[in-house]
Every structure is written in C-alpha cells, then in structure tokens.
Amino acid sequence: MAGRVRVGIGYDVHPFTAGRPLVLGGVTIPYPRGLGGHSDADVLTHAVMDAVLGACGLPDIGTLFPSHDPRYEGADSLHLLDEVLRQARGRGFRVVQVDCVVVAQEPRLADSLPRMRQNLAARMGLEVDAVGLKATTPEGLGALGRGEGVAALAVALVEPLEA
C-alpha cells in the first residue's frame, strides 16, 4: 500500500439542533444552536477524518465509529481524529497537508477560522500553513442556505512514513 503520495476527499453535513454547542475544528463557536449528531457533530473534523481515511485506503468514519456504538455518543471528534491518525500510521502513512471548506449560511466564521486551523494543525502535527481552511456561504440556496445545517469538505495528502 505504501510507496507513493496519495490523496483523499471527505464531505460531511449535520443539521442544526437546539440545545447543543456548535463545535467546528474543535473550537466552540458562540452561536445559539449547535449541530445534531451522535458525537459532538464537528462536521469539519469529520470531513478531515474521511479525507485522511480515503487517502490511506481505510474505511470511512461511519464504519470506524458507528453511530449505534454508545462509546461515540457525544465524543470529542478531535479524539476520533487521533484514532484516525493512528490508523493512518498503521497503514504506513502520515498526513502532509489538508485543505478544507466549511459551508455555512450562518454564523459568520471568519473570526474563528484561525483557531480552528491551529487546532487541526496541532492535532495532526502539521505546520499551520499545511492546513488550508476557508468558510463560504451557500448564498441562501437550498437547506444550507436556509441555515438548516453546516457542511464541510476536505482533501488530504498523505505520504509514506519512510519517505
């Protein structure tokens, strides 16, 4: 499996729900609603994990961390990312770079992006400039545009550990 650089893509979406904190990239964003889901519903970290897993030829997070498994109820997704990185190393890969987009009509995320980026970089042992992070709005289009949830996309580049 190892031997060359590989890429992976991840996508995730979660609906807003009342009574939950909004956690993106491990950062709690001041906002009246959070995202619903079995774990902490950190949609950005979930997209990053699936990108890394895809690059390594590993199963997706739904397979690794099943939503029916009580161990992952309310789980801190950064801890799940730690496990994904362990599995990547087990396959002989390390993460070189990730690039991400968060799609949200609201809240405005510009002020929180640097902390989210630093969090993800630190967790993956990367320089901050190896983690790209953008936020965009869906311009009012569709369910995301009506502010019903947040989506995230990520790509990840991995290389063999011995490289």
Q: Which of residues 58-77 bind Mg ion (CB under 5 A)?
A: none
User: From the CB of 133, what's the least distance to Mg ion, in Å?
Assistant: 17
Cβ closer to Mg ion: 29 or 94? 29
Count Cβ atoms within 10 A of the Cβ of residue 111 and give its class: 0-12 exposed, 13-18 middle, 19 or more buried.
Answer: exposed
CB of 42 to Mg ion, least distance (A): 8
Span 13-52, contacts to Mg ion by CB under 5 A: 46
Phi/psi at 84 (5° precision)? -60, -40
With CB under 5 A as the contact rule, the residue among 12, 40, 50, 159 that binds Mg ion is 12
Closest CA to 88 of 120, 134, 48, 119: 48
Size of the site for Mg ion (CB under 5 A): 2
The residues facing 95 across adjacent strands are 158
Q: Give the interface with Mg ion as residue ranges (CB under 5 A).
A: 12, 46
